[in-house]
Structure 1
Amino acid sequence: MANAWNQTCRMKGLAVGPMTTFEYSEWWKLEADKLRKRKNKAEKELDSLKTDYKKLRLSMRTVRLGKTSEQWREEIRKVGNKISRVRRVSLST
């Protein structure tokens, strides 16, 4: 009789469908709605940022500020050199 407890039994299982409660299903629907709303909001914000970026690029071209980053670095370097020269002159006088 003691060996009967030690024997391994195998059973075939049959899954009919998801075993979820009504509360879980309702919670999942609410979470899915929240996620969908957040996704839509993020997409709208992204579209708005893209529009703002395009407007900024257009206005920069209109004002002729559409320089490359290398051109900006060169201009900043030149201005920095001018400032250094002015400081040297003002310190020597």
Structure 2
Amino acid sequence: MKRLAVGLMTTPEYIEWWGRRINDNIPKPSQGDSQPIEKHLRVVPSELEIIRQDFERRNSELEKKIGQ
């Protein structure tokens, strides 16, 4: 028994429609409500910076006690 192999017939119009159909499901950000990314970021100090700040705080407390 013979089998017929039929390839997909895609036209440029079909390919364009298929691409739009898929991309229509992706919500696009609205330009009116856009805010700078910096508004959502915060600076997190490194572990070394935290240790340095703690050292400076303790050092200043000890200097005050020595001064008294």
Higher relative contact order (CA 8 A, sep 6+): 1
Higher-Rg structure is: 1
Question: Could you state the TM-score of these two structures normalised by the residue count of structure 1?
Answer: 0.31
Question: Could you state the TM-score of these two structures normalised by the residue count of structure 2?
Answer: 0.40
* Structure with a larger share of its residues in helix: 1
